[in-house]
Chain A
Amino acid sequence: MSTQNKTPSQTSKNNILAKLKEQVGGADYTKLSKEFAYQYPALSKAEQKKQFISLLEANHAEVIMLEPQEIPTMIRKVLTTRGITRLLGGKASPLENYLLELTNNNSAENTISIQYYDFNLSDPANKDRLFNESPVSITSAHSAIAATGTIVLWPTTEEPRSLSLVPPVHIVVVEEKTLYQDFDSLIKAQQWQNKMPTNIILASGPSKTADIQQTLAYGAHGPKELIVLLVP
């Protein structure tokens, strides 16, 4: 067989696969042992909610329970207590109405300016803007997982991937009805294998590291603070 017209990668591929197939080519898959999963006790919705909140808090996230109409006021409070006046959010995102309401209620001495992530990150000027001029961001959550205290982020054109990553404070709005008992049941219920988007992130707290002498430090590279607004 000539390999003259092949790239080195193709030659490697053929060599590797040939070696592997020599061993297991034609293997009888029916002889594989049956795999059993551990059966976790089913939790009620209330128990799941309690578990979700306590695990997130144990991982240093702040969880605030509130009604949807309280969201603008709460955002204002979060920003004001941190001395921040600028918020980055998604244009035409599920949260846009709350953001508009927030700016409508601006007063002279308490002004919050909303920036929209409507720019292309490949432009260096936009990178500077995101890294250096965006102290807080807000995004919606796709769903949540009780067993691990996890928020599922499903970035979109309106709420891009870096919106929940680069700003030092990340506020995320989670709806209780999107809470699942565990990762496995979430994947199965929503049939993820048929519709994987560009990127999915499971986030279970603010960014952290224990790389120096096993001492936990928050805000390694991602957000230093994760603030979860949990609405019914």
Chain B
Amino acid sequence: MTVQQHVPKQNSPKENKYDPNESKYAKSASEFRANVSRDLSNDELKSNFRGAMDYLMDKRKVALSNEDELETLREQCKLIKQRCLLKLPTLLEQLEQNLEANGIRVHWAETITQANEIITTLIQDKNGKTVVKGKSMVSEETSLNDYLEDRDIECLESDMGEYIVQLAHEHPSHIIMPAIHQNKKQVADLFADKIEGFKHTTDVDALIGEGRRVLREKFCHADVGITGVNFAVAETGTLCLVENEGNGRMCTTVPDLHIAITGIEKVVEFLDDVPPLLSLLTRSATGQIISTYFNMISSPRKNGEKDGPKEVHLVLLDNGRSQAFADEEMRQTLQCIRCGACMNHCPVYTRIGGHAYGTVYPGPIGKIVSPHMLGLEATNSLPTASSLCGACGEVCPVKIPIPKLLLRLRSESNKPANTDGHKQIMKGEGSGRKKVEASIWFVWQLMHKHAFIYNSSMWFATRLRKLMPAKIGVWTSVRSAPKLAPKTLHERVKAHQAQTKKQQS
């Protein structure tokens, strides 16, 4: 029995497919509005997300019921991450030094294509043909699976959720629970369609058992294991992985070659920094006081050891992070420890689901991190898709002021063209500026500065109210047009005051 393999896509010319400066997600993110319409009309999808988010919110609430503890931990974790960011270049150098001293090779990549090239070379140097991958959102950023498949290297996702998503030719809809958009019946249908000999059942134990059977076979024979990293400890040169399933342990223990890939912001200074971050990470994410496994890797297989990879490599990826870093306010985006609590509590995410965003990272954190990775041109709709209710900021374990950063990105997106030659803050800044909107605000500003213009335009607006069109673009697509009063409030107050005066005299 075998799993049906993906056929490399032949339809697009390879040289165009991997523009070093553009991820495939730039296109899907720019189609945000269309994606939202598509997914809002899917009732099954909405119910899958509603159920999952309610479950995750309840779990977190129970695990963090001590308000004092929660607030002390959040403040502590925020300060830890801010300290590590302030020292980031030094810590990255220290991390590299200590990892190399431990025998772990370090590679640096500015772009997603550089990262993919480094990984491909490492695999090809060992004649590797098969890869098992633990959950890694950074490798989703680089679309590593597509890249390797096009080079005839099989790359199989081994986290159960990721495995389901890969079988369905989709990408994760949630950073912690990748297949949350599918219910068990959909998974059963998928397995029946893709796995030879699978007997259709919606029993979750049986479905997981089937995944286990297929993937154990792969773990046993894979040439390479690829994973992400949750914390990289500079002090000791240690890579830490958080997981429940054991697939991360498999990927980092059984194959002879282990390649880890992570963003440059994942480095922490001390081993001591890990316990509070870990405690808040798992409780914020799934309400677990700790994950089933916490895996700390400090070296490849040493002389005399009987298992473990003979080589371990770490790829450090920038991909827009240094852009966020360069602005003190937006630098806070990099405090993120990827728990997913912001999406679990987001009223927008819960309704539109994770795929509508079109980005690797959906939800509130996705809205503030993706513009740095994909540029504002492709992502300028994302920061506007928020009611600014503030829930994301309130639950964030490292206190990222997400609502404030959404406002900041809106203003970066709407600012006028760079005519005075100031230093560009973001790729694609000003790309969301619309002439009509800008001129409306210009007029608004003019009116409110000059009483005469204000009063006379109000007088005309109320007297000519019958000329108000019934349809005003997008506004009336879901609302009725506003009806103006026959007189302005000022006029009515004046009249009322005159009336009272008359009665008194």
Contacts and interface: CB of A to CB of B under 8 A. Distances in A.
Interface of A: 8-10, 12-13, 15-17, 19-25, 27, 29, 32-33, 35-38, 40, 55, 59, 117-122, 124, 127-128, 131-132, 147-150, 157, 160-162, 165-166, 182-184, 187-188, 192-193, 196-215, 217, 219-223
A200 B235 CA distance: 16
B502 interface: no
A219 B215 CA distance: 12
B374 interface: no
A117 B307 CA distance: 10
Contacts of B79: 32-33, 35
A148 B289 contact: yes
A29 B89 CA distance: 13
B138 to A, nearest CB: 15
Interface stretch (B6-14, B145-153, B290-298): B290-298
B245 interface: yes
B285 to A, nearest CB: 11
A198 B235 CA distance: 15
B272 A127 contact: no
Contact of B208 (A117, A131, A161, A217): A217
Contacts of B178: 211
A212 B184 contact: yes
Considering the complex of A and B, which 6 residue pairs feature the smallest CB-CB distances, nearest first?
A: A222-B246, A211-B161, A220-B245, A121-B307, A13-B108, A202-B294
A35 B86 CA distance: 15
B307 A222 contact: no
A131 B244 contact: no
Contacts of A29: 83, 86-87
B275 interface: yes
Contacts of A182: 275
Contact of B184 (A8, A208, A213): A213
Which residue among B159, B179, B219, B275 has the maximum number of chain A CB atoms within 10 Å of its CB? B275
Given A214-B52, A221-B245, A23 B108 contact: no
Contacts of B93: 17
A29 B219 CA distance: 45
A124 B433 CA distance: 60
Interface string B43-68: 00000100110011000000000001
A28 to B, nearest CB: 9
B250 A221 contact: yes
A122 B300 CA distance: 13
Contact of B88 (A20, A36, A119): A20
Contacts of B459: none
A100 B298 CA distance: 33
B75 interface: yes
Contacts of A206: 292
A153 B322 CA distance: 37
A157 B89 contact: no
15 contacts: A13-B108, A23-B325, A24-B86, A38-B76, A160-B305, A161-B308, A192-B236, A199-B295, A199-B308, A201-B293, A208-B292, A209-B161, A217-B207, A220-B247, A223-B246
B472 to A, nearest CB: 43
Interface in B283-315: 286, 289-302, 304-308, 310
Contact of A24 (B75, B89, B219): B89
A10 B187 CA distance: 44
Interface stretch (B24-32, B109-117, B411-419): B109-117
A59 B282 CA distance: 14
A197 B305 CA distance: 11
Given A55-B289, A59-B292, A215-B184, A36 B221 contact: no
B204 A213 contact: yes
Contacts of A27: 86-87
A212 B246 contact: no
A13 B115 CA distance: 12
Nearest to B286: A210
B242 to A, nearest CB: 10
B302 A198 contact: yes
Interface in B99-113: 102, 107-110
Contacts of A38: 68-69, 72-73, 76
A9 B286 contact: no
Contacts of A223: 246
Contacts of B425: none
Contacts of B310: 122
Greatest chain B CB density within 10 A among A33, A132, A209 is at A209
Given A121-B307, A213-B183, A24 B87 contact: yes
A113 B117 CA distance: 48
A200 B289 contact: no
A13 B93 CA distance: 9
B177 interface: yes
B109 A196 contact: no
Nearest to A25: B89
B3 interface: no
B293 A212 contact: no
B154 interface: no
A146 to B, nearest CB: 11
B388 interface: no
Contacts of B236: 192-193, 196
Contact of B247 (A33, A192, A200, A221): A221
B137 interface: no
B207 to A, nearest CB: 6
A14 B23 CA distance: 23
Contacts of B253: 161-162, 165, 199
Given A127-B220, A221-B246, 9 more contacts: A131-B219, A160-B306, A196-B298, A197-B298, A199-B295, A212-B161, A212-B179, A214-B180, A217-B208
